[in-house]
Amino acid sequence: MTSKAASLVAVLLLLIVTIPNATAVIKNESENPLVTISTEQGITFVENMNLSGQSTIPAAELVWSLVVIDSVVSTGIEDTLLLSSSTFSNVTMNDDIYDWALSIPVNSLNCTCRFSIQSINDFTITASTVVFIGTNSQIPYIEYLPSFQTYESNELKIFEYQVITPEFEPTSNLGLTDSTSFKANICQFSGDSCITESVVVELNHSVNELGNYDVSIDKLTLDIADGNWLFEIYLRDSFLRYSNSVEMFLTFDTNPPNVTIMGATNAQEQDFMVYSTTVDDGYDSSLVALTWTITEPNGIIRSIHDYEIITDSSIGLILNQSGEWNISVLAIDSVGYFSKQSYIVIVHNIPPEISLKSSVSLDDINDNLVFDVSESWYLDASESTDTVNDINSLTYSWIIGDEIIHSGANLTNLEYDIVGQNSIILAVSDSDGATTQLTIQLQVTEVDKPTKDNNEFAAVITLLIVGLLLITLVMRFRGSDGSFNLPKWDK
């Protein structure tokens, strides 16, 4: 602190009246605490700085400060703090509102300064004003007035500034009528620093009906590329004095972003595939919002589920349906330009896989299966497999020639009892139209059994044979002695 500032502090401590304790302990019950400065902005003080205002916060919980505002061409790193205190010249209270007043001798100071007052418990509760102290070394002060109006285009932006000038003007002959100008140090910005050299440009301006300045920043006139730009805007008045600077971070974007989707264009049903995007908006640190949309083969259009998001620019999908998938990305940049890119993925259906069981052991499904027509038997294909989305919709057809003899997962002797051998085709189909076939050689046999007619026929034959034998014997006996004598039995 300079010797002048030190002497001012000493005088201040002697002159300022300390706030009474009774005032300090009064608690404010306001739900929206605030502090205000009643003194008009831009007042010039030569000998004493007299300020006043109000607060809903007890004065003992407030602190004020006086800081030098540096010119844009100042070599100082930051604004200089001249004075700071938590005491006031006078404080009164009416209806829980504190009226404060401050009187400080400043006859040895010359500056454009900012007086601020704020709560010591919450620095967001604050108020400030610009004052000119002394009769020389003051600089003009510019203040940006925010507007909620949108820009007419991304190439031309207009900002409104209030200019506060000191009461005492220089007495030299350097004043040039209508020579006030707005300038800016500009550089392209990325991340948290400039990526190009800073250059000085002059900005067009005009005075509006309120007496404020409308400053135009024209991309084409300045011949700057799309990107993020830092503008350090300042005023040079007719006395060649440079004001403080106001930083503006501006984005110029005159083209929609280019989007590229990357990933496989062909896949098998139930594959897990990752798809990612690259976005080029023409400059570094561009802010682009991505919206993914999925059109499934069944025609359903949906957004991305939370569990499908991998990163801000990539997703993972389980392609659980065969057919054509349409993956699209809508990219919108910070100024509203957008582009949309679509990506077609063909998902191939996986056919069913047949699993066949039988009531007899199957060492080889190509072997002949032989069953007797009188026995119970079955062929079971119910454990055939497919993808998760198709397994419950499988259909089974048992075919001989061009005829379907049975529909269902099982073929038994109840559905098929044709004696003989046939080639039976088992066709298993899923809901996507894929079919797997298996040819089975099936033989149904019948063992011969005696019947009543056969038994009677055999008995007749037997009697005829016995009769012929008897006749043969009789003829032989007659031929031997010419007569027929019965043999005699000896006693």
Q: In this predicted model, what pLDDT tens digit does every residue of 275-294 receive, in sequence order?
A: 999 999 988 888 899 999 99
Position 16 confidence tier, pLDDT thresholds 50, 70, 90: very low
Distance from C-alpha of 460 to C-alpha of 472, rounded to nearest angstrom:
18
Is residue 487 a part of any domain in this protein?
A: no
Do residue 262 and residue 228 come from a single domain? Answer: no
Question: Which amino acid, residue 6?
Answer: A
Q: Is the separation of the CB atoms in 435 and 425 below 8 Å?
A: no
Residue 330: predicted pLDDT: 96
Share of the chain above pLDDT 70, in %: 84
167 within domain boundaries:
yes
Domain assignment present for 469: no
Instruction: Check residues 432 and 184 and name the one with the higher pLDDT.
Output: 184
**Residue 441 in this model has a pLDDT that exceeds 80:** yes
Give the C-alpha distances (Å, rounded to integers) separating 145 from 149, 215, 226, 447, 470: 12, 11, 25, 109, 146
Band the pLDDT of 183: cuts 50, 70, 90: very high
491 in a domain, yes or no?
Answer: no
Q: How far apart are alpha carbons 227 and 190 in whole angstroms?
A: 9
What pLDDT, on the 0 to 100 scale, is given for residue 25?
35
Is the same domain home to 19 and 129?
A: yes
Q: Is the pLDDT of residue 259 over 90?
A: yes
**pLDDT at res. 467:** 79
The pLDDT of 186-215, averaged and rounded, is 92
Q: What is the pLDDT of residue 179?
A: 80
Residue 255 has pLDDT above 60, yes or no: yes
Q: Are residues 244 and 190 in the same domain?
A: yes
Domain count within the chain: 4
Confidence of residue 448 (pLDDT cuts 50, 70, 90): low
Residue 173 shares a structural domain with residue 62? no
pLDDT at 77 over 80: no
Does the reported pTM lie above 0.85?
no
Q: What is the pLDDT of residue 171?
A: 62
- The residue-averaged pLDDT of 402-415 equals 90
Is 69 part of any domain? Answer: yes
Q: Which domain holds residue 190?
A: 141-252
- Average pLDDT estimate for 348-372: 79
Q: Which has more pLDDT, 234 or 11?
A: 234
Average pLDDT (437-453) is 76
- Does 99 share its domain with 129? yes
Least confident segment among 16-20, 371-375, 376-380, 468-472? 16-20
Would the pLDDT of 8 be above 90? no
Mean pLDDT confidence for 436-440: 91
In a shared domain, residues 372 and 304: no
At which of 80, 113, 133 does a domain end?
133
Where residue 363 falls among pLDDT bands split at 50, 70, 90?
Answer: low
Q: Same domain for 369 and 344?
A: no
Same domain, yes or no: 123 and 14 = yes
Question: Where is the domain boundary, 300, 325, 348?
Answer: 348
Give the model's pLDDT for residue 13: 45
- Answer yes or no: is pLDDT of 366 > 70: no
Q: How confident is the model over 346-356, as a mean pLDDT? A: 92
Hey, which residues does 480 pair with through a beta bridge?
A: none
Are residue 30 and residue 129 in the same domain, yes or no?
yes
Q: What CATH number is given to the structural domain containing 400?
A: 2.60.40.10
Res 491 pLDDT > 60: no
Report residue 220's pLDDT band, with 50, 70 and 90 as the boundaries: very high
Is residue 21 pLDDT above 70, yes or no?
no
Is pLDDT at 405 greater than 70 in this prediction? yes
81 and 196 housed in the same domain: no
Question: Terminal CA-to-CA distance of the chain, rounded, Å?
Answer: 176
Buried b / exposed e over 62-94, threshold 16 CB at 10 Å, is: bbbbbbbbbbbebeeeeebebbebebbbebebe
| Beta strands 403-407 and 395-400, pairing class | antiparallel
Is residue 232 a part of any domain in this protein? yes
Whether residues 46 and 92 share a domain: the answer is yes
Mean pLDDT across the chain: 84
In a domain, 456, yes or no: no
Judgement on whether residues 88 and 120 belong to the same structural domain of the protein: yes
Distance (Å, whole) CA 388 – CA 270 = 8
Average of per-residue pLDDT across 95-104: 93
**Considering only 12-21, 30-39, 132-141, 473-482, which range has the smallest mean pLDDT?**
12-21
Residue 486 lies in a domain: no
Report the pLDDT value the prediction gives residue 421, as an integer from 0 to 100: 86
**Last residue of a domain, which of 103, 133, 163?**
133
Burial of 329 (0-12, 13-18, 19+ CB in 10 A): buried
489 or 211, which is more confident:
211
Report residue 172's pLDDT band, with 50, 70 and 90 as the boundaries: low
pLDDT band at 485 (very low <50, low <70, confident <90, very high): low
pLDDT at 418: 84
